[in-house]
Amino acid sequence: MNERIQELAEQSGAYFGAASQDYFGDVHPAFVSTDKIDLEKFAKLIVQDCTWIVTTTEIERNDNARLRGEIASKITKHFGVTE
């Protein structure tokens, strides 16, 4: 699982057990408990990360801060995120 996705899941109430290493050397949590995860919060955090990427990414040509702001606004409106 992507480390950032795991961080956002934990912030939303998911619990990841102790990590273990598989045969190929990849590290995975021993178990994941999602009983207390707030899916709305999890989705909101992902949308906020996406809009942060849009608003902070520098574009080599035609770098237009207003356009990036509009794109970020459309993403938040599409998913109904208000913060």
CA-CA distance, 33 to 31, in Å (whole number)? Answer: 7
pLDDT digits over 26-83, tens only? 777 666 777 888 999 999 999 999 888 888 877 666 667 778 888 888 888 887 877 6
pLDDT digits over 10-19, tens only? 899 988 777 7
CA-CA distance, 78 to 47, in Å (whole number)? Answer: 10
Query: 20 - beta bridge partners?
Result: 28
Which residues fall within 8 angstroms of residue 11, CB to CB, at 6 or more apart? 41, 42, 45
Q: Quick one: which H or E segment has residue 33?
A: strand 32-33
